[in-house]
A and B are shown apart, each in its own frame.
Chain A
Amino acid sequence: MQPVVKLEDIHKTYSNGEIEVRAVRGVSLEIHQGEFVALMGASGSGKSTLMNMLGCLDRPTSGRYLLDGIDVSSLDRNERADIRNQKLGFVFQGFNLLARTTALENVELPMLYAKKRISSREMRERAMQALDIVGLSKRFDHYPSQLSGGQQQRVAIARALVNQPQVLLADEPTGNLDSKTSVEVMGVFQKLNDQGITILMVTHELDIASYCKRNLILRDGVIVSDVQVSPRLMADEELRKLAAAEAAAKLTDAPSAH
């Protein structure tokens, strides 16, 4: 089976007048259907640059990028926008929901820009389904300001899912969340991955990376480590442990309260 994402010797050089910055220096990578990959690296390692190229927001200076068998490394601005719309789903660190716009309308957003026209009824149905997957269908009419960080991120995940993308790209999706909410969001990703969705996320937190199946480490623009995660953390289990720990804390705390 052909890989969903195939990078062949990708380079990215930024030239700012006389200074040349070689952010990515020859990355080759294959990601197959159903994988759950964490891309890690210190700041300046080139992971954001790589992520922008994977997300078709930016073009490599050299090398080939095959997404779902299509060479996207030489597409123009509008063609890349269509690829982003049809084949990729984005989840950002800062959620990036439209303010003063309901959860439902936020999820409908990518469908507004679909090449094929979607009826408003179908848009609504699909958006509700996506919200249902992340467990927020009851809050479809809430505004982002009325939702917690974890809930906002789940709305963002629903938005990323709504056009049934080939790959879900998440850029530090737990970066703005507390540890418990982070685990919950990772639970949502694991559930989606179990349903066969390919996920690629950037993180700098090791424990978050342990919820993924495969970890890549980028340093100075090259991949220095590519390992299968073992032992892998399961969000459901961790949440149970956390709940138990909280309960235990209350138990031990309870007597001293008297």
Chain B
Amino acid sequence: MRFVATLIIAFRALRRNKLRSVLTALGMIIGVGAVIAMVSMGNGAKAQVEAQIAGLGQNVISIFPGSMTSGGLRGGWGSASTLSVDDAEAIKREIPGAIGVSVEVRDRQQVMANGLNWNTSVSGVSPDYLDVRAWPLADGEFFSDNDVRTTAKVCVIGKTIADQLFAGTDPIGQNIRVRNIPMRVIGVLGSKGFNFFGQDQDDVLLVPYTTAMKRVTRRDRINSILVQAPSQESMERVQEEVTALLQQRRQGREPDFTVRNQLEIAEVATASSKTMTALLAGIAFVSLVVGGIGIMNIMLVSVTERTREIGIRLAVGAHGKDVLMQFLTEAVVLSVLGGALGILLGIGTAQGLAIWKGWPVEISTASVVVAFFFSAAVGIFFGFYPARKAAQLDPIDALRYE
């Protein structure tokens, strides 16, 4: 029998029992809708986390000093001041894959300007810092190698400081006093918002690292070195080279530093959202299976109810295969229609949550396609048994069935 004819027969049969068809499809509608909506939410959350990870910079490898043990107390990572500016310079000089290198010297200070004061994070960094962290300037300019050489009293401030100390006025050219040393503001950073851990990334004051070491921390220890690799693929190679170089510079002593790359950090951060997505998808999958069982149930009822019809079809020359196809098509039409409506429902729910609740959602085409084909597969899987039951009926018994 022709495919189109089978399809028409299926549609006619479903139309005859509109309410029942709709109720049966409802299982699929809700199942598929749940899949789409939940995966969208999971993806939205993941995308948000990924954006924050990307905020750390582009293809960044971080080097932290090792731990220091003094008198039996182990200090944890970063407690030893074993990284030096020389290390950073060596990396920049000898590793061609390190396209950007910046040291970082951090301190918290009470800073003053305009008769206002504010406690903030003061970071001494290299001129490469903004490139490494993929951080644009909103206004002004960044300090140069020359500023680093001359330990210039210049700074670049984050948006939060600009708002807190220079509300309404242009901060460029004005002075901020850090440890009572006036520093001229030469640039304002673009806003980065809060990071994954809820810290305000814009609450920062950047100065040349030499300035920081000489005038702010008054020590020569540095907190970390950031190295930028040219691409994600080359990150691991550069990481190995950096490790090898630093190891070589330590001439066989125990490694007193640790090297992390951004992917590792990203992996940890996205792991939780991945678990969440998997959980949501699991729940949605269960509801799809329940929807499929609903279809199987109704198809079994339908086969019993239409035994006589099956008998007639077999008597006038339908093969078992034709009857099988007819009922299978009905099940698939039900589930695919349900799936299509479910996709609309899911997209609508996701968009609704995005608009009214402001949740981050991201509707992935893949989830829509997968949900659609999965619903068709559910129809085939759960429709097959009832359809086969119909196809195997004996025409004589089926015709006599009351």
Contacts and interface: CB of A to CB of B under 8 A. Distances in A.
A159 B315 CA distance: 12
Contact of B320 (A78, A84, A86, A97): A78
A110 B314 CA distance: 10
B396 interface: yes
Given A78-B320, A100-B16, A113 B313 contact: yes
A75 to B, nearest CB: 13
A113 B395 CA distance: 15
Contacts of A114: 317
A98 B316 contact: no
Report the contact-size class of chain A (Cβ under 8 Å from the partner). 20 to 34
A163 B318 CA distance: 13
Which of B12, B311, B315, B316 has the most chain A CB atoms inside 10 A of its CB? B316
B314 A112 contact: no
A52 interface: yes
Contact of A57 (B5, B309, B318, B395): B395
Nearest to B312: A96
A92 B2 CA distance: 27
A112 B317 CA distance: 9
A82 interface: yes
A72 to B, nearest CB: 13
A29 interface: no
B3 to A, nearest CB: 11
Contact of B322 (A57, A97, A101, A113): A113
Contact of A113 (B16, B311, B316, B399): B316
A81 B312 contact: no
A65 interface: no
Interface string B301-313: 0000000110111
A113 B319 contact: yes
A117 interface: yes
Interface in A88-105: 90, 92, 96-101
Interface residues of B, number: 23
A173 to B, nearest CB: 14
Interface in A47-82: 52, 55, 57-58, 77-78, 81-82
A152 interface: no
Interface in B315-346: 315-322
Contact of A85 (B12, B311, B316): B316
B317 A82 contact: yes
B51 interface: no
Contact of B396 (A57, A78, A96, A163): A57
A86 B16 CA distance: 30
B1 interface: yes
A4 interface: no
B320 A110 contact: no
A77 B391 CA distance: 11
A73 B310 CA distance: 23
Contacts of A101: 12
B396 A52 contact: yes
B313 A109 contact: yes
A244 to B, nearest CB: 39
B399 A81 contact: no
Interface string B95-106: 000000000000
Contact of A81 (B12, B16, B319): B319
B326 to A, nearest CB: 10
Interface in B380-402: 395-396, 399
A109 B312 contact: yes
Given A57-B396, A113-B1, A96 B308 contact: yes
A90 B316 contact: yes
Contacts of A57: 315, 395-396
8 contacts: A81-B319, A82-B317, A85-B317, A96-B311, A109-B313, A109-B316, A110-B317, A114-B317
Given A78-B321, A109-B313, A113-B316, 20 more contacts: A52-B396, A55-B315, A57-B396, A78-B319, A81-B317, A81-B319, A85-B316, A85-B317, A92-B399, A96-B311, A96-B315, A96-B399, A97-B312, A98-B309, A99-B309, A101-B12, A110-B316, A112-B5, A113-B313, A113-B318
Interface of B: 1-2, 5, 9, 12, 16, 308-309, 311-322, 395-396, 399
By Cβ-Cβ distance, the 7 closest A-B pairs, closest first, are: A85-B317, A110-B316, A113-B317, A113-B318, A78-B319, A84-B317, A96-B312
